[in-house]
Structures are given as C-alpha cells and as structure tokens.
Structure 1
C-alpha cells in the first residue's frame, strides 16, 4: 500500500510533535507514583470544569437539540465516563503508593471452570445506591490463582521508570470518552507516552480534549493532533512510533496493518503485515441479544423490548457494542408479542440525525440484501426471519439496523443453540447480551453459568447491556482474547481496566430483569428505575448531568436530586 503523505508543513508538524514526545518520555519516566496520581487528579478536575463544553461540542456534531433527552448519552458516555475512570485509576495508584496490590480493596470469588473472578461493581456504598441491582465481575483465565492476580495487578505502574516508548492512539469517531480513556490506558497500564490522533468526525472536540488533557500535555506525556488519513498513515509508520492502538472497524484495521486492495489481501492471507510494530485494537462486530424463553408478563415484554431497542439505537446505532442480532426462541409462545413490542419500541424512539458517515448507505445495503426487511420510520430497519448465512450475521452495519434470528427448542436447548450460533456464526467477540427471567434462571441452574462460560466474548451482560461494561471503569473492555492480526475479529488487547489486572479473560455484567418498583414486588434485590441510558428515558439529560456533577465532586447532598430525576425517567 502506498501511504498518502501529508504536505511538507504537516509532516514537519508531526515530526516536531513526536520529537517532543520522545523527550517527554524521559520526563514521564521521572514521574513517580505520587506525581502520576496528582496528574490524574488534575485531569479529573479539568474534566469537571470542561463537562458542559464537552457535551455542547459533542451534541453539536451529532445534531442533538438543546433540550433533547438524548443529550444524556453525551453526558454519560463523555465526561462522566472519564471522571469515573480517573477516580478509579487514582485509587489504583494510591494502593501502589502504599505498597499494596490494587486488588486488595476488591472481593475475589469463583466463576465457572475454577476461574478467579474479581467483583469490580459495586465498589463502595455509592455504587450500591446509584447502580443498585447491577454488578460486574472480571473473570481471569482458567488456572490463574488469586495470589497471581494480586501480585500482577498494576501492570506498567509496577515499574514506573521502565517506559515503553511513544505510542499512537487513533481515536474513535463515535463515543467521545473513548479516545481519552485509551490515552490514559497507554500512559498508566503500558507506561507509554502518547500522541492522540482524532477521528475527523470529532475534530470539534479538539479544544475541550486539549483542555482536559492539559496536565498531561504540560508534563510532556501527551499530544493531540488532527488530520485525515494522510496524517494517520504518516504517524503509524513513523520510525519514532513504537506502538499503535486504534478503535474502529476491522476493515480500517486491515488497511492500516496490511494495506488495501489486492496487495493488502495478499499480505493478510500470507500473514505478512505492512506495519512493522505492535498494534492493539477495539473493533466492534455483530453483537447478539439472546432472549431466553420464559413466562413473561406484558410489562416484562414491553420493558425488555425497550431494553433491546436501546442496545441498538443508543448513539443512533453508531456503537461498536450495539446489539445487532436478536436471537429468539422459534417455539416461544410469547415470541410474537415480544416482537410486536420491539417494533413499537424501535418506531417510538426519539428521532435523531444520521451523523456518522456512510450510515444511509449501510441502511440501504441492509434493505437490499434482506428481502423481508421492514422500515419502521425515522431510518430504523428491522430484519425479521433471518436464516443461517444471512449477511446481517457477518456484517457490522453501524447504523440503526436490527436483525432477528429464530432458533428452536425450550430454554435449555435454545440457550445451547444460541451460544453455539453466537460463537460460530456471528462476526466478532466484543460483547454478548442475554435476557432471562429469574424463574428460568433458577430452573437452568448451573447450566446457565456454564453457557455464559462458553460464550467467547470480551463482555457478557445478563439482563443488562454490555454498554454498562464500557461505563464501568474497573471492568475490562475489549475482544475475547486470542485474536491475531490476520484474523482480528473484534480486536486485540483490552482497555479501561482501572484495577490494571494482568491478562484478564472477560467481564460479566448482571442487572435486574425488572425495574423498580416491579423488581421489589417480585423479590428481586434491585431498586433501579428505568436506567438513564434507555433511549426512551424522558429525564436522561437531567439525570446524566447531575450524575456527572456528582462524579466531579462526590457529596451526599447531591444524591436526592439524582434519584428524583431518575424516578421521573
């Protein structure tokens, strides 16, 4: 592949940036744990100051009106995500400063297969109140002992002076916290100084991002640049750059690593990368939503249909972790009622602009390749009655397109088939969602845990959306381990992981099947109302803004206002 070079002035600018970072690496190596913690605290404070400007900039390029509840997505997946991440990472650094393992403050349990599981959510009393009924566990690979988990946690912070060069982060163009979270992980987990290259879609965020990262920029550890594919290509192939991390699609990944066209295809087939340096990535895929047959009330059917619609339509459908294939029981007596509620939820969700490039074309592609496709208005498409081999199973549409695949059998047989289908027929391994009522879960018993263990996904959510795994800073985020450059699927490596666990396998998130107050009436230990990330939540923007203010400056007096807004959602 011939990389289009930037013009002379642009190349000189990038050269200067990388030369500054090469010098900054020595300054970063000289930063002990205390100074690194202080820098995190300064970034946290800067995020709080910039939070409103951040949301205004993000809502601007996404076309969200000033009073739209959808702006809640920009609060939670923007400044709120970074605030909680810097707070959690600060706690990890404090533990290492005190000579303790970051894991010491977390409960270690057991998962199927004898795995060690680290309970990362809830962590503390505030989590138990704000996310009541939700939990998250990081599973370590089989054979790793609890002692090894404790000894290895901390990653690059265990030897701060042993820096690992200059890295490039090619930033995401959809979720605005992703580029900054990736920068923090490069710095703190891998001990690597970073140049962040923004996706052109997010260029309006430049001033906010530089203001938030100002403490790290002044320390010489970070630079932020803009530009097109020519700048990205120049950066990743630059001799001063030793590592590349990217968020995007597998197509973009392969173009960077192997090149494009016939030459790129030959290199990929031969396993001979054009790029001669390590590459980590988070690349999305086709995420399943497995609906296990059970005896649901009409309210259950309606709520979970809105849950599934949210998994597809959050951020307009432009999420790596958006649910794309609903796997449902062909023999389930309530199948048709559930699908009726799902159609209604998709159609009723608030309208929004198709801001991500190529969206309309991908929607038309889905319509053209699936004869039974249904237009539900406002650009949404449902693909019912999919069969094995359908294009939707292996094409990440990155648009408001949702498919339905029916499999036979009662709960146990269906679940077994669904796991096999998700593992073997769907593209990618980033995240899988499973919905099952408590009665069915009890009837399945250990077989359900075994099914979750069989799912080869980096995040698995049970009665929750894997997006909560993204928002949990102490959870891990990334593909299931084992992918290679020439078969990258959903990527290589993990990010977030604020506890800095070494080589985790996956995160398992759990939530309540029913929201409060119905959860209480049915004996579920959950007090959560409709989550603020639901696309139909009427007070999402207010709740998320108050949550962000609380994350910036935690105080008990802020909680009543958060709960009051959440209950009105």
Structure 2
C-alpha cells in the first residue's frame, strides 16, 4: 500500500464532515470565524514570538512589527472581511460600481465605511472583472462543488498566508480543508491549532506537519478533491508534470499530467516598480526612495512580490538623484538573517552573473547584503528579468524615454512581455504628472497584465488589505503555469475577478505601515486588532501609534 492510498485519519475526518459544512447557511458559519478572530487576538503574542524565533528577529526590536502586521493582524483583517460576506448571505454589497475604459465592470470595495476611511488614510481598492463575464458573486454557494476536501500546501514565508489560504477554501470555495504546514513554519503548528480550534473541533479543518512526501501523498489521495499551492512554479511542475525536467518536458509534449486533480496556485513573480518620470520635491524623492527600499527589505526580501526590477526613464532629470536617495536609504538598513533555505547560494549566483552590482551593506555571516544593479537596459542579460531572485537584490532598468506619456506607453509592454510572472506590480506617479496624463495612466492600468496593481504603494498592500483577490492575472495554463491560476482572499466572493487595483496618495501624512523603520508598528498593529475585535477605546492607541510612526 502506498502513502497515496493509505488511510490518513485527518482526510477521513474531513471527508465525513464535508457535506455538513456545505449544509450550513452563510450566517451559520459566522460563529466559527468570530471565535477564531478572538482566539487570534488572544494568541497574537505567542504567534509573533514564534515567528521571530523562526526568522532570527528580536521580538522586542524594530523588525518584529512586520510579524505583527503580516501575522495575527493579517488573519484578523481577512476574518473580518469574510464575516461581512457571510453576514450578507455570500453576496456582500459593493459600495460602488463603475466601468473601465475597456467596458469591464469595476467594483470599488474599499473603504466600505467610516472606520475604514479612518484606518486606511486615503487608500482605495477596486476589483476589475474579467471582460465578457458577469459581475456575479458567491457562485460556490448557489452552485456548490461536490462535497470534498481541499489540500492546502502552505508557504514558508508570511506566517498568516497558509491560514488565509485554508480559510479561502472554506469560505469562498465552500470546501473543508486540510492545511499541510511548510516545515519552516512547523513551530507555529500548535499555536495555529489553538486559533483554529472552533473549525478543527467541528471537523471542518485539519492542520498537519510533514515533509514533501506527505504533501505528495495528500495531493494524490483519492479523498482529496482540490489542491492549492503557494510556493514555487518548480514545486508545481514537479507535482503536476514529474520529478525531473526531462520527464516534465515529455509529459507536457504528450499533454499527460501525472496529477490531474483541479489545482489553484500562487507561484511568485519578478516584481516591477514602475517609476513614472515627473518633477518631485526633495521630500518626495526621499519618501519614494524609502518606499522602494521597504519593498526590498521587508521580510529580508523573502516575499513573492519583493521588489526586483525598478523601471526608470533614462531621460528623467531626477533619475540620478532618486538612485542616490535609494542607495542612501539601503546603506542605513542593517542586513537581515537569510533564514530561507538556499537564499545565500541564489544571491551569489546572481552576483556572479551581474558583477557590476553595488553591495550597499556590510558583509555579515548568515545575511545577504542589500544590493543594487544600476543602469541595465532592456537588452541586458535576461536572467534577472526571467527568474525570481527572492533575496535582497534589486535591479534598475532604464527605458530609452524622457517624458511620462512615452514612459507609460513603453513601460507597460516591457513589463508585460519581458518580465516573468503576472502576480503584482507597483506604479509610482506624482499627482501633478497624474493630472496631466490621467487618461494615459488609466490606459496603462487597463493594459497591465497583473493580478494586483498598486498605485503609489508597494503592491504587498493589495495582499495585506485582505479583501481584494490575490493571484496571477488570468490566462496561465498547467503547461505554462507562470505565476499560477486562481485567487485567494477575494472577500467579496467575485466569480470572475481579473485584477485588483489599490490607489494610494503619492505621499501620506503618516508613515505607512509597510515602510521599514516605522517606530511604533507593533503598537499600531495591536491597536487595529483591538478595534476589529470589539474594543472602541483602541482608537486612541491607534492615533498615538500612527502619529509616532
């Protein structure tokens, strides 16, 4: 008997409860999620301390704020959005609809209310629907899939990510779920089981630990109906097409998958930041340099949307000033522990291919220094355009243009056609340039083939909000999987989302929570968690933390 046909008790228990989960009306599921929200707040300190141990972070130091925002706060925000959807019978009302220049329906989903207007300081989020598809919601409730189990293969970087993926299967896809923890995050398993106890005790969720062999067995098991992966396209190809590159090529040529079950996946990206040329003040240059630096150094750059390609205009008069400001920012930031397996070898391999790179921080054992490659052209060694770096290395490519209109017309096809992946991108544009080129900007947003686009922010914000769909731009196939297929989060339960667009003022009055060096990020995160778990007095703490940041 092989593992794939062996009795796996966790799958058996879930299989027995799959029909029961689908029999619950949306409002009947709310108690489980409400209890989880309270438990996430109760165990938040334990969660953060364990995450800091895994990543080599001082739990009382400045970097710990990242673990508060992307850990328990990230989960609580997603739970709150899902509760909103369930409260409205899986068809949550959209605050406003409008049409894109292409005729596509656009749902403006954030802010929903006065609370979110205060919390998000001018941030707005919208979801573009796929062309020629209805703007429908909640089809998994109107036409539920056959009762079954979804296996979620968890990621090993952002700690709330695996729980969010499992929740999506339960709430949006209407399936019970088994979450297999990434071995790197295994120390969090017991904490997560405590937070998810309401769902686990009811038989709707299981959390297990194990190696790659267990993951493969779970995926091939006859009781598994659906699979979701967050990780590498290499992992996806090994699972779907075979262990070796040669076997994968043969199977793809024959269109003979070794795993034929439905699979959704989020598989990374070569993430661009498009810097639209304009005339910026010195304060704006420094602010945006800090924004780009933050997109590189967050989580030691072990992010699927960590900054990788900075797209500038060669004729931008302030290009050199901006790069000087960026280098000054990175030189001030200490290198971080390279906790992710294989990162140092990968960094050294890229450094060998790009010897002109400038190392901007001191060499410290067990870390990767912040590194910038300047002055690449679109015809440079394409490896940096086609392979995810997943470490603290940023490359600048200059396009042969001078003005904003020509830049937008050139940059969009460059990132669409030359860079690997379609998960997310950022576009930075000052309000004066935006006002002068508003039509060209909207055309660029419409043409960008990315699942998430952030205007004047690092695109991780689209992930962190918890309400917008998160996943690759539609169109990838199993044989050419790219950044993946399907979405997660998507708390408005849209059936046919194409892309999320998050719009942020060019320069916020307070330090954004995704900026490195925020002086009160743990306090800010805890205040927001307290607000979302029913403590209105936390607004004062939030205001204090925001002003101190």
Determine if the TM-score, normalized by the shorter chain, exceeds 0.5. yes
What is the CA distance between 1:371 and its match in structure 2?
Answer: 2.0
Q: Do 1:321 and 1:430's aligned partners in 2 also have CA atoms closer than 8 Å?
A: yes
Q: Do 1:475 and 1:497's aligned partners in 2 also have CA atoms closer than 8 Å?
A: yes
In 2, distance between residues paired with 1:414 and 1:105? 34
Matches of residues 296-311 of structure 1 in structure 2 within 5 Å?
A: 296-311=280-295
For residues 43-97 of structure 1, give each alpha carbon's deviation from its aligned partner in whole angstroms, at most 9, with x where no partner exists. 1121111111111111110111022121111111111111111111111111118
Q: Do 1:5 and 1:230's aligned partners in 2 also have CA atoms closer than 8 Å?
A: no
What is the CA distance between 1:163 and its match in structure 2?
Answer: 4.4
Does the alignment pair 1:45 with 2:26? no
For residues 219-245 of structure 1, give each alpha carbon's deviation from its aligned partner in whole angstroms, at most 9, with x where no partner exists. 111111111111111111111112110
Other-structure match for 2:70? 77
Other-structure match for 1:253? 236
Does the alignment pair 1:489 with 2:482? yes
Q: Do 1:54 and 1:78's aligned partners in 2 also have CA atoms closer than 8 Å?
A: yes
For structure 1, the 5+ residue unaligned runs are: 517-528
Considering only aligned residues, what root-mean-square deviation do their CA atoms show, in Å? 1.7
Other-structure match for 1:66? 59
In 2, distance between residues paired with 1:19 and 1:299? 59
**Cα–Cα, structure 1 residues 17 and 128, in superposed 2: closer, same or farther, change >3 Å?**
same
What is the CA distance between 1:5 and its match in structure 2?
Answer: 6.7
What is the CA distance between 1:566 and its match in structure 2?
Answer: 1.6
What is the CA distance between 1:393 and its match in structure 2?
Answer: 0.6
Q: Do 1:72 and 1:545's aligned partners in 2 also have CA atoms closer than 8 Å?
A: no
Other-structure match for 2:541? 561
SS at 2:109 equivalent: strand
Q: 1:154 aligns with which of 119, 138, 142?
A: 138
**Cα–Cα, structure 1 residues 281 and 189, in superposed 2: closer, same or farther, change >3 Å?**
same
112-121 or 336-345, which deviates more: 112-121
Does the alignment pair 1:93 with 2:77? no
**Cα–Cα, structure 1 residues 5 and 314, in superposed 2: closer, same or farther, change >3 Å?**
farther
Other-structure match for 1:526? none
Matches of residues 180-259 of structure 1 in structure 2 within 5 Å?
A: 180-259=163-242
Does the alignment pair 1:264 with 2:245? no
SS at 2:127 equivalent: strand
SS at 1:505 equivalent: strand
In 2, distance between residues paired with 1:464 and 1:260? 39
For residues 423-459 of structure 1, give each alpha carbon's deviation from its aligned partner in whole angstroms, at most 9, with x where no partner exists. 0000000001000111111111211100111100000
Q: 1:133 aligns with which of 113, 122, 132?
A: 122
For residues 332-381 of structure 1, give each alpha carbon's deviation from its aligned partner in whole angstroms, at most 9, with x where no partner exists. 11100100111111222244211111111111011011121111115211
Q: Do 2:121 and 2:508's aligned partners in 1 also have CA atoms closer than 8 Å?
A: no
Q: 1:283 aligns with which of 249, 260, 267?
A: 267
What is the CA distance between 1:11 and its match in structure 2?
Answer: 8.4
Other-structure match for 1:549? 530
What is the CA distance between 1:546 and its match in structure 2?
Answer: 2.2
Q: 1:458 aligns with which of 425, 442, 451?
A: 451
In 1, distance between residues paired with 2:186 and 2:102? 46
Does the alignment pair 1:406 with 2:375? no
Other-structure match for 2:20? 27
Relative to the length of structure 2, the TM-score reads 0.95
In 2, distance between residues paired with 1:119 and 1:392? 35
Does the alignment pair 1:514 with 2:507? yes
Relative to the length of structure 1, the TM-score reads 0.92
SS at 2:112 equivalent: coil
In 1, distance between residues paired with 2:2 and 2:429? 52
**Cα–Cα, structure 1 residues 531 and 189, in superposed 2: closer, same or farther, change >3 Å?**
same
What is the CA distance between 1:513 and its match in structure 2?
Answer: 0.7
What is the CA distance between 1:538 and its match in structure 2?
Answer: 2.1
Does the alignment pair 1:107 with 2:96? yes
Q: Do 2:334 and 2:361's aligned partners in 1 also have CA atoms closer than 8 Å?
A: no
Other-structure match for 2:257? 273
Q: Do 1:29 and 1:163's aligned partners in 2 also have CA atoms closer than 8 Å?
A: no
Other-structure match for 2:343? 359
Other-structure match for 1:382? 372
Does the alignment pair 1:434 with 2:417? no
Other-structure match for 1:524? none
Other-structure match for 1:520? none
Other-structure match for 2:520? 539
Runs of 4+ aligned structure 1 residues displaced above 6 Å come to none
In 2, distance between residues paired with 1:365 and 1:545? 40
For structure 2, the 5+ residue unaligned runs are: 363-368
Count of aligned pairs between the two proteins = 539
Does the alignment pair 1:346 with 2:330? yes
Does the alignment pair 1:392 with 2:384? yes
What is the CA distance between 1:536 and its match in structure 2?
Answer: 2.0
Q: Do 1:480 and 1:506's aligned partners in 2 also have CA atoms closer than 8 Å?
A: yes
Q: Do 1:73 and 1:315's aligned partners in 2 also have CA atoms closer than 8 Å?
A: yes
Q: Do 2:240 and 2:257's aligned partners in 1 also have CA atoms closer than 8 Å?
A: yes
What is the CA distance between 1:386 and its match in structure 2?
Answer: 2.0
**Cα–Cα, structure 1 residues 5 and 467, in superposed 2: closer, same or farther, change >3 Å?**
farther
SS at 1:114 equivalent: coil
What is the CA distance between 1:37 and its match in structure 2?
Answer: 1.5
In 2, distance between residues paired with 1:216 and 1:188? 12
In 2, distance between residues paired with 1:116 and 1:167? 30
Other-structure match for 2:366? none
172-181 or 66-75, which deviates more: 66-75
In 1, distance between residues paired with 2:284 and 2:386? 30
